[in-house]
């Protein structure tokens, strides 16, 4: 005889967690908990085989089924000491579907099954709560009618509405037992109107109808679509779980509560964290009307102290469960240990005590703060509960950010006025006075003010101002806009693309949500959430614990992927080294040209008519660049430093407003017309696809030569001072090998010149960004010259998608919302398209040059799923902004662990 029904209860179960295919995920887990000795309400699971049988046999059941259900039902009755359909004290059931994998398309839960006109009286007697009895019954009718029989839920809502209007009240809670009894009658009438029959008064009929409804729901259209989309075979079928209901509101020997096996805020487990209410239902705890009591005496004492409650009052009014029901408490505490031993993770528990008997309603992995996650992982590994590999998977790399940046004080935040919401462009919290100009940010900061720089969008000219500000807020631009990228690089908080802001530069103010914020007014921004608040909100600095160090050390032991940082200044380089960066993967040189004296020489270079004029101006820039590189080499203490040659189009360096143009003309002693003409001449329709990257170096080889000279003079200087420098010169934006060849020749010649002049040599590499599809497609050729590739996946994403970072903010969010794109490809590497190019290029490049070093330096280098992709694709390293270095380290380690 085939076994179709699997009972569980009272510490025994016929199934186990290995039988997900037969019992569904939920059924297997209910069985498992029983076996482990967790007291869960008993019940039984009807296997997926029945579902298969049902559809194979014209929607009928195997002959043996009814008897097996009866038997399992009887077993449940025995465990609960109650009878199904007992008019005096009825056993009630919940009925749920449960496939191998969770399937939202299927039947919801039906609760309180077994209530009838008769049994409702028994429930009222047992709970001594008439309102609860009728409320349960009218709800059961609604659920059964809707979920099992498909009656429109709106009809019941209307009925409820009418009764409330009759009584002149607004809230469901204002209805008393008599009202709910009336509603029950109305619901039954609706059932009859809709279905042409009376609401079933036979609990067994209710049960079988519910079972059949579950099996029927396997083939409802929603479920079919869901399976098609998610690739779930239609042949799997679902199981049905029938489980006894328990009540925490059956008197003072009953209670309900929630608990965590460790403190979800800190990860501590010095005592058992949890709360409960006597004679209450789960909803009462959630509703927060009554003050919940603590599980342990220690917890209770601590709580009373924090609330300034006298011990006498506490002991009388808010005793702990440990004090009130010591035996139940001990049982629960033992369960805590058992659950952690079994699930090997911190659990979030719901329990109910029904007339002195403890039932676990749910146990699930508990949510926790990032700090708690790290501590729990390290502690559990220390306790031997899990090994280090598992521990590494226990922390979401993305959330490490929380540990590195200031956050708003919770209490202060609760009182703050929310002004607007933009994009969470660079994490952390900041509070400061509003300024609208980069130069004001610098000036105010020098006077000791904390300022937040508010701009429509930022440009390279604003770098100094951004650096002086504590935070940046922009009205335009996405997660990878200039403001966002630079802010992340600086580890500075930034909210970008806050489109609601109406900024008026002239009046030095912005308006949002009916509020006018003037220059000098305080605002607070949260770069982790994108929220903008009025006024000052206190921030709290994070503290990196020893656990963090231990944890990251484990990550480093495991990972094979190198982690470098994108850093343009010695300060960034030092911060990143502190976070564990093993080199610089991208040092942009253009930001170095925006200092006061530098920008003038830079502009002079751009205005120059011929290479002679350019060379003169470049000679002025050389010492600055050299000093920059010396600073960076020294900060990196012998770690490799990848320096990218000048990349942005020259027009980015010229002043945009007339006043500055006149000043520049005066400073350079030329006609303002000449400046304006040059700006007009350099203007581009699509600067992203314009005269930039190596195209500049090819047109003006003297620029490349100056930069390379500065690099090697700096490297020689460092070597002389006792610091090894390992420069890796990177040529940007190539699309053909010939472009790279052209620039590599300049690099090699200049290096040779410098080495001869200096009388010493340093080892170096020359390589290229792979940031255009054509470079990736012809990687075999490019690798004949390149010693390394660094994927610039920001630009590669732009060109592969034909999508401008600067402009896509207008429609990309809508794309993600409509599921045309699963995620923003500028945040998460598009493995299907862009990733294909990366894989192709790595394979082709290494075929030509087996020693080719390959890294990634786009924003994706700090995004976990992208880091995992880089690991899988065999890259040598990822490079990301300093504050993302720990994220990348952990993600790289997780990639190894997941590989198994």
Task: Indicate which residues carry an active-site annotation.
Answer: 482, 857
Q: Indicate the residue among 717 and 799 with the shorter CB distance to a copy of itself.
A: 799
Site for a copy of itself in 746-805 (CB under 8 A): 771-774, 777-778, 781, 795, 798-804
Backbone φ and ψ for 586, nearest 5 degrees, come out as -155, 110
Size of the chain in residues: 900
Confirm or reject binding of residue 219 to a copy of itself (CB under 8 A). no
Instruction: Supply 379's token pair.
Output: 């502690």
**Hey, is 767 helix, strand or coil?**
strand
Backbone φ and ψ for 341, nearest 5 degrees, come out as -65, -35
Confirm or reject binding of residue 868 to a copy of itself (CB under 8 A). no
CB of 815 to a copy of itself, least distance (A): 7
**Hey, is 522 helix, strand or coil?**
strand
Q: Indicate the residue among 768 and 876 with the shorter CB distance to a copy of itself.
A: 768
CB of 630 to a copy of itself, least distance (A): 33
Could you give the CA distance from residue 454 to residue 193 in angstroms, rounded to a whole number?
A: 63
Q: Residue 527's closest CA among 436, 451, 423?
A: 423
Q: Indicate the residue among 437 and 774 with the shorter CB distance to a copy of itself.
A: 774
CB of 652 to a copy of itself, least distance (A): 11
Confirm or reject binding of residue 238 to a copy of itself (CB under 8 A). no
Virtual torsion, Cα 230, 236, 242, 245, nearest 10 deg: -20
CB of 333 to a copy of itself, least distance (A): 52
Return left, alpha or beta for 59; rule: phi > 0 is left, psi -120 to 50 is alpha, else beta: left
Site for a copy of itself in 410-469 (CB under 8 A): none
Q: Indicate the residue among 407 and 772 with the shorter CB distance to a copy of itself.
A: 772
Could you give the CA distance from residue 552 to residue 227 in angstroms, rounded to a whole number?
A: 40
Could you give the CA distance from residue 593 to residue 625 in angstroms, rounded to a whole number?
A: 8
CB of 874 to a copy of itself, least distance (A): 20
CB of 352 to a copy of itself, least distance (A): 46
Could you give the CA distance from residue 690 to residue 551 in angstroms, rounded to a whole number?
A: 45
Confirm or reject binding of residue 498 to a copy of itself (CB under 8 A). no
Could you give the CA distance from residue 38 to residue 331 in angstroms, rounded to a whole number?
A: 10
User: How many other CB atoms sit within 10 Å of the CB of residue 311?
Assistant: 11
Give me the half-sphere count of Cα atoms (radius 13 Å) on the Cβ side of residue 573. Answer: 25
**CB under 8 A: which stretch of 182-190, 506-514, 690-698, 760-768 binds a copy of itself?**
690-698
The 178-197 site mask, x for binding a copy of itself (CB under 8 A), equals --------------------
How does DSSP assign 188-225, residue by residue?
HHHHHHHHSSPPP--HHHHHHHHHHHHHHHTTSHHHHH
Q: Indicate the residue among 100 and 805 with the shorter CB distance to a copy of itself.
A: 805
**Hey, is 112 helix, strand or coil?**
strand
Q: Residue 6's closest CA among 167, 671, 502, 20?
A: 20
Q: Indicate the residue among 606 and 698 with the shorter CB distance to a copy of itself.
A: 698
Q: Indicate the residue among 595 and 690 with the shorter CB distance to a copy of itself.
A: 690
Site for a copy of itself in 45-104 (CB under 8 A): none
CB of 552 to a copy of itself, least distance (A): 36
Site for a copy of itself in 693-712 (CB under 8 A): 695, 698-699
The 710-749 site mask, x for binding a copy of itself (CB under 8 A), equals -----------------------x-xx-xx--x-------
| Count of chain residues binding a copy of itself (CB under 8 A) | 49
**CB under 8 A: which stretch of 74-82, 297-305, 427-435, 682-690 binds a copy of itself?**
682-690
Q: Indicate the residue among 252 and 814 with the shorter CB distance to a copy of itself.
A: 814
Q: Indicate the residue among 319 and 687 with the shorter CB distance to a copy of itself.
A: 687
Instruction: Supply 673's token pair.
Output: 């017309």
Confirm or reject binding of residue 686 to a copy of itself (CB under 8 A). yes
Q: Indicate the residue among 343 and 801 with the shorter CB distance to a copy of itself.
A: 801
Give residue for tokens 């290494």. 846
Give residue for tokens 């006149």. 662
CB of 457 to a copy of itself, least distance (A): 9
**Paired strand residues for 787:** none
CB of 839 to a copy of itself, least distance (A): 11
CB of 236 to a copy of itself, least distance (A): 25
Sheet holding 502-504: strands in order across? 502-504, 509-512, 515-518
Could you give the CA distance from residue 364 to residue 349 in angstroms, rounded to a whole number?
A: 7
Instruction: Supply 556's token pair.
Output: 């480093």
Q: Indicate the residue among 192 and 749 with the shorter CB distance to a copy of itself.
A: 749
Give me the half-sphere count of Cα atoms (radius 13 Å) on the Cβ side of residue 540. Answer: 12
Q: Are 214 and 27 in contact (CB under 8 A)?
A: no
Site for a copy of itself in 804-833 (CB under 8 A): 804, 806-808, 810-811, 814-815, 818-821, 830, 832-833
CB of 771 to a copy of itself, least distance (A): 7
Could you give the CA distance from residue 626 to residue 715 in angstroms, rounded to a whole number?
A: 9
Q: Which residues contact 267 (CB under 8 A, 6 or more apart)?
A: 346, 368, 371, 372, 373, 374, 375, 376, 379, 547
Residues that bind a copy of itself (CB under 8 A): 684-691, 695, 698-699, 733, 735-736, 738-739, 742, 771-774, 777-778, 781, 795, 798-804, 806-808, 810-811, 814-815, 818-821, 830, 832-834, 836-837
């Amino acid at each position: 005889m085939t076994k179709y029904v699997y009972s569980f209860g009272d510490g025994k179960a016929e199934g186990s967690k290995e039988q997900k295919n037969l019992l569904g995920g939920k059924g297997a887990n209910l069985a498992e908990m029983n076996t482990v000795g967790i007291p869960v309400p008993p019940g039984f699971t009807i296997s997926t085989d029945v579902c298969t049988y049902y559809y194979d046999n014209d929607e009928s059941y195997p002959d043996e089924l009814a008897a097996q259900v009866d038997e399992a039902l009887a077993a449940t009755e025995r465990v609960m000491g109650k009878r199904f359909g007992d008019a005096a004290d009825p056993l009630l059931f919940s009925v749920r579907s449960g496939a191998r994998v969770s399937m939202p398309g299927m039947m919801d839960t039906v609760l309180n099954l077994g209530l009838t006109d008769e049994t409702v009286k028994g429930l009222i007697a047992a709970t001594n709560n008439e309102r609860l009895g009728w409320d349960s019954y009218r709800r059961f009718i609604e659920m059964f009618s809707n979920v099992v029989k498909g009656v429109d839920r709106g009809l019941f809502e209307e009925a409820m509405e009418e009764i409330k209007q009759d009584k002149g009240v607004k809230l469901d809670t204002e209805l008393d037992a008599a009202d709910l009894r009336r509603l029950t009658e109305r619901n039954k009438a609706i059932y009859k109107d809709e279905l042409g029959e009376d609401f079933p008064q036979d609990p067994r009929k209710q049960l079988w109808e519910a079972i059949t409804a579950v099996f029927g729901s396997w083939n409802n259209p929603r479920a079919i679509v869901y399976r098609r989309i998610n690739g779930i075979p239609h042949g799997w079928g679902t199981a049905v779980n029938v489980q006894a209901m328990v009540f925490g509101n059956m008197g003072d020997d009953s209670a309900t509560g929630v608990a965590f096996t460790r403190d979800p805020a800190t990860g501590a487990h010095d005592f058992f964290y949890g709360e409960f209410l006597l004679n209450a239902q789960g909803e009462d705890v959630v509703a927060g009307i009554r003050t919940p009591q603590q599980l342990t005496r220690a917890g209770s004492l601590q709580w009373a102290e924090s609330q300034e409650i006298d011990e006498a009052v506490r002991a009388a009014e808010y005793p702990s469960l440990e004090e009130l029901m010591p035996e139940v408490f001990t049982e629960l505490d033992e369960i805590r240990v058992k659950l952690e031993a079994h699930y090997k993770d911190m659990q979030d528990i719901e329990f109910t005590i029904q007339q002195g008997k403890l039932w676990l309603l749910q146990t699930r992995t508990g949510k926790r703060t990032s700090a708690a996650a790290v501590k729990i992982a390290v502690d559990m590994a220390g306790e031997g509960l899990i090994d280090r590999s598992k521990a590494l998977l226990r922390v979401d790399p993305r959330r490490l950010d929380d540990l590195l940046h200031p956050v708003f004080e919770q209490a202060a935040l609760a009182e703050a006025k929310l002004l607007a919401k933009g994009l969470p462009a660079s994490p952390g919290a900041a509070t400061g006075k509003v300024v609208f100009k980069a130069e004001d940010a610098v000036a105010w900061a020098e006077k000791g003010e904390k300022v937040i720089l508010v701009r429509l969008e930022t440009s390279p000219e604003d770098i100094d101002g951004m650096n002086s500000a504590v935070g940046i807020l922009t009205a335009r631009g996405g997660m990878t806009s200039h403001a966002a990228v630079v802010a992340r690089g600086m580890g500075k908080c930034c909210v970008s693309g806050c489109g609601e802001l109406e900024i008026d530069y002239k009046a030095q103010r912005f308006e949002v949500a009916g509020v006018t914020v003037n220059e000098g007014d305080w605002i607070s921004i949260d770069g982790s959430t994108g929220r903008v608040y009025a006024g000052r909100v206190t921030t709290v600095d994070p503290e990196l614990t020893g656990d963090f160090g231990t944890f990251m050390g484990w990550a480093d032991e495991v990972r094979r992927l190198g982690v470098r940082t994108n850093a343009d200044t010695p300060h960034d380089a030092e911060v990143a080294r502190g976070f564990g960066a093993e080199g610089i993967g991208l040092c942009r040189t253009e930001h170095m040209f925006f200092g006061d004296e530098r920008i003038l020489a830079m502009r002079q270079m751009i205005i120059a008519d011929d290479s002679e004029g350019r060379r003169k101006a470049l000679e002025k820039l050389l010492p600055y660049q050299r000093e920059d590189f010396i600073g960076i080499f020294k900060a990196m203490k012998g770690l490799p430093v990848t320096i990218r040659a000048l990349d942005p189009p020259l027009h980015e360096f010229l002043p945009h407003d007339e006043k500055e143009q006149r000043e520049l003309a005066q400073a350079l002693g030329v006609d303002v017309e000449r400046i304006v003409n040059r700006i007009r001449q350099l203007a581009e329709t699509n600067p992203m696809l314009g005269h930039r990257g190596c195209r500049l170096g090819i047109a003006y080889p003297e620029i490349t030569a100056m930069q390379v000279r500065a690099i090697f003079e700096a490297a020689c200087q460092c070597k002389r001072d006792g610091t090894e420098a390992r420069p890796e010169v990177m040529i940007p934006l190539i699309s053909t090998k010939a472009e790279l060849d052209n620039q590599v020749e300049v690099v090699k010649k200049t290096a040779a010149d410098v080495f001869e002049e200096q009388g010493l040599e340093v080892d170096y590499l020359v390589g290229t960004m792979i940031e255009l599809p054509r470079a990736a497609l012809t990687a075999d050729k490019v690798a004949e010259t390149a010693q390394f590739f660094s994927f610039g996946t920001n630009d590669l994403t732009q060109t592969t998608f034909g999508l401008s970072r600067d402009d896509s903010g207008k429609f990309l969010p809508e794309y993600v919302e409509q599921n045309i794109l699963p995620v923003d490809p500028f945040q998460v590497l598009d493995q299907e398209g862009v990733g294909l190019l990366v894989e192709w290029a790595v394979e082709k490049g290494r075929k030509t040059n087996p020693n080719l070093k390959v890294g990634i330096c786009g924003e994706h280098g700090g995004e976990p799923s992208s880091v995992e992709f880089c690991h899988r694709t065999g890259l040598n390293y990822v490079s990301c902004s300093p504050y993302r270095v720990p994220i990348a380290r952990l993600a790289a380690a997780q990639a190894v662990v997941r590989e198994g």
